[in-house]
Amino acid sequence: MERDHSDHQYRNANDEIARIYGKMDIGTLRLTYGQSFGRGLNPNLRLMDALGQLDETSLESLIADVIKK
């Protein structure tokens, strides 16, 4: 069975996102990623509780930063 390396990289990035940013709240992350980060989410919500609700653009911003490191 052939593995999809991009899917594996995505899952690894999600684990890293949760580890690095998971305890931060959406409002704090908006200071770095802009006011549109996590659009529609409560700014007091921790990222680990909102990860599944993030819009694609916000999630891609986090993944790009994690992959750079």
Whether the pLDDT of residue 4 is over 80: the answer is no
The length of the chain is: 69
Arithmetic mean of pLDDT, 47-66 = 90
- At 69, the pLDDT band (50, 70, 90 cuts) reads low
What pTM, to 2 d.p., does this model score? 0.78
Q: Which of 60, 18, 15, 20 is nearest to 38 (CA)?
A: 60
Exposure on the CB side of residue 7, measured as CA atoms within 13 A: 3
State pLDDT tens for residues 12-45: 777 888 888 999 999 999 999 999 999 999 999 9
